[in-house]
Chain A
Amino acid sequence: MTRAGPIPILRVADVLLTTIHVDLQDTIAAAFQEDVLLEIEATGAKGIVIDISGLEEVDTHVARILAETGSMARLTGARAVLVGMRPEVAATLVRMGYAMGAIETSLDVEEGFRLLGAWPKG
């Protein structure tokens, strides 16, 4: 598989997991969205958990990229769940007048996997 961007996307059972740990500048953001779509196609994953616990701030530019990624995943038949948003990030986004309407959210990676019905039993 050819992947263009620096953000790794892991396959765990039938779900994908990715952690955003770098600034989503324009070129990286576009590569990330394409990588997500290619991985969904290649693996047949039913969903993707996007972990943003490493992001200390999410501006409307990054929020738009994340919401877009969710919409793109949905068009290919996969559910995208955004997890790990820090309290101060959530407060800031809502104060700015933005809510991540286009993407599902969960508290953390574990809850995200549960939401997708992918948390391993036992």
Chain B
Amino acid sequence: MPAVAFASQTMSKETLAIEREEDIVQVRKRARALAQARGFDAFACAALTTAASELARNVWVHGGGGEATLEELSDGTRFGIRLVFRDHGPGIADLERALRGGYSTARSLGLGLSGARRLVEDFEVDTRSGEGTCVTITKWTRF
């Protein structure tokens, strides 16, 4: 074993389309399967899959469809699951407000983005007006 920690390595990567409401279920199920296989406990599995569900729904409802990339990582001591959600929708007009929570639309509680952020260790949003939104989340095993 090297004495220094090495950068996280990708162990697998797959992309799923989000074009219909049923696709949200598929993304969530696949995220759960990966997390369970890597030894995430029930709380971590629920956190990751719920965040996946929120973000996949955002792609479908607000982004007019898109895709999710699911990646298995290892940093040498822990396993991680990274999920990237991409859409080519209008972008998030008021990102700060959306991240604060309660930025509700007719079909949601407005807690999707802010809620997902609280469930994972790493969270990044890149949104551009008229071009789309990309949200990246990563959850790691505890030990």
Contact of B119 among A56, A86, A89, A92 (CB under 8 A): A92
**A122 CB within 8 Å of chain B:** no
- B43, B50, B116 interface centre (most CB from chain A within 10 Å): B50
User: Is the pair A88, B101 in contact by a Cβ cutoff of 8 Å?
Assistant: no
Within 8 A of A (CB), among B83-137: 101, 108-109, 111-112, 114-116, 118-119
Residue A103 at the chain B interface, CB threshold 8 Å: no
Interface assignment of A61: CB less than 8 Å from any CB of chain B: yes
- Are B111 and A96 in contact (CB-based, < 8 A)? yes
A59 to B21, CA, bound (A): 14
**Whose C-beta in chain A lies nearest to the C-beta of B112?**
A60
CB of B108 within 8 A of CB of A88, answer no
| Chain A residues whose C-beta falls within 8 Å of the C-beta of B54 in the assembled complex | 59-61, 96
A57-B42 in contact (CB<8A): no
B98 to chain A, nearest CB (A): 13
* Chain A residue nearest in CB terms to B32: A56
Q: Which of B25, B47, B101, B109 contacts A92 (CB 8 A)?
A: B47
A-side interface residues, number (CB < 8 Å): 21
Decide if B115 touches A23 in the complex (CB within 8 Å).
Answer: no
B residues near A91, Cβ cutoff 8 Å: 43, 46-47
Task: Please give, as numbers and ranges, the residues of chain B lying within 8 Å of A56 by CB-CB distance.
Answer: 32, 45-46, 49
Q: Is the CB of A96 within 8 A of B43?
A: no
A26 on interface, CB distance cutoff 8 Å:
yes
Residue with the greatest number of chain B CB neighbours at <10 A, chosen from A59, A61, A63: A59
**Cβ B108 vs Cβ A64 within 8 A:** yes
CA–CA, A59 and B50, complex, Å: 5
Chain A 99-112 interface mask (CB, 8 Å, partner B; 1/0): 00000000000000
- Sample 19 A-B pairs with CB under 8 A, ordered by A number: A25-B24, A56-B32, A56-B45, A56-B46, A57-B28, A60-B108, A60-B115, A87-B42, A88-B42, A89-B46, A91-B43, A92-B43, A92-B46, A92-B119, A95-B47, A95-B115, A96-B114, A97-B118, A98-B111
